[in-house]
Amino acid sequence: MEKPVLLVTRRLPPAVEARAARDFQARLNSEDRPIAGNELPRLATGAAAILAAPTDRLDAPALAALPESVRVIGTFSVGFDHIDCAAAKARGIAVCNTPEVLSVATAELAMLLILAAARRAGEGERLVRTARWSGWTPTQLLGIGVSGRRLGILGMGRIGRELTRIARGFEMEIHYHDIARLPPEREQGAIFHADDRSFLAASEILSLHAPGGAGTRHWLNAERIALLPKGAVIANAARGTLVDDAALISALRSGHVAAAGLDVYEGEPRVHPGYLELENVVLLPHLGSATLATRDAMGFLALDGIAALLNGTSPPNRVV
């Protein structure tokens, strides 16, 4: 039986590409050149499935332009807000993602952002790298300790719960806000807040882990930032769209927010130029899931989901 054709839109780790070539007629992107929207229908001609990436904007017009042969889209990400799932469903295209396997890596990265921002690690690294460090002094780069602090987590999903586990090693008091309260056995002592006001007032350190989309766009705006304790630290390893950049930059300049650590940006790879002017912000290039083991696991899970959907079964990672 002939293997189905799979279009892979970005270069993936070698083990994932080898698996794709084993199980499918894989059209790989060896140059890792982003595929423009108007190129996708041509490249997908005759393909039964597409293994896409978060950088691919699969909105309704893009999905409508795909050849009829495309029956499945797998995304190399847990988030799927870059895919118009309603339009995919209307076209009869099934969608799967990569949940769970990246939770630990992303939570680790969130803790890295918290520590680096609070302890001014970015400033220190730049000081040494540019040969401007003149030696130890008692008042140099005094930061904020995180041990024993109140950590607010927006979105207590898999990643938020992994961050909770890590933060308990620092004896942090965990507060969280989500659309619903977790069962007690999953809370494990974390304090639930049903409203923004009490949640933000408790958050000396705020870590964002909510999904993207219209419902959460610019959730962290000027009004909510004002509810944080003065000198709060903010980390975002979720979605750039969660943050109103102008509002956060203003708060960083005023000192109401002492520091921030960001791994994601609205309109990335473009970064708001205001951040580049600030010393009290740590900027990383979307590294949340960037460990080799995690990216392999993501690719294998996406390929498993695509294969199952093409074979008529519904895998656990099916979105639509």
Write the DSSP string, 193-261: ESSHHHHHHH-SEEEE----SGGGTT-B-HHHHHHSPTTEEEEE-S-GGGB-HHHHHHHHHHTSEEEEE
> Whats the size of the chain, residue-wise?
320
Q: What is the largest CA-CA distance in the chain?
A: 72
pLDDT in the model for residue 36: 86
CB 208 within 8 A of CB 237: yes
- Active-site residue set: 239, 268, 286
All structural domains of the chain, each given as residue ranges with its CATH number in brackets, are: 5-101+292-310 (3.40.50.720), 103-283 (3.40.50.720)
pLDDT in the model for residue 278: 98
Q: Using CA atoms, how far apart are residues 262 and 213, in angstroms rounded to an integer? A: 18
Return all residues near 120 (Cβ < 8 A) that are at least 6 apart: 141, 142, 143, 259, 280
pLDDT in tens, the chain (320 residues): 799 999 999 999 999 999 999 999 999 999 998 898 889 999 999 999 999 999 999 999 999 999 999 999 999 999 999 999 999 999 999 999 999 999 999 999 999 999 999 999 999 999 999 999 999 999 999 999 999 999 999 999 999 999 999 999 999 999 999 999 999 999 989 999 999 999 999 999 999 999 999 999 999 999 999 999 999 999 999 999 999 999 999 999 999 999 999 999 999 999 999 999 999 999 999 999 999 999 999 999 999 999 999 999 999 999 99
Whole-model pTM: value is: 0.95
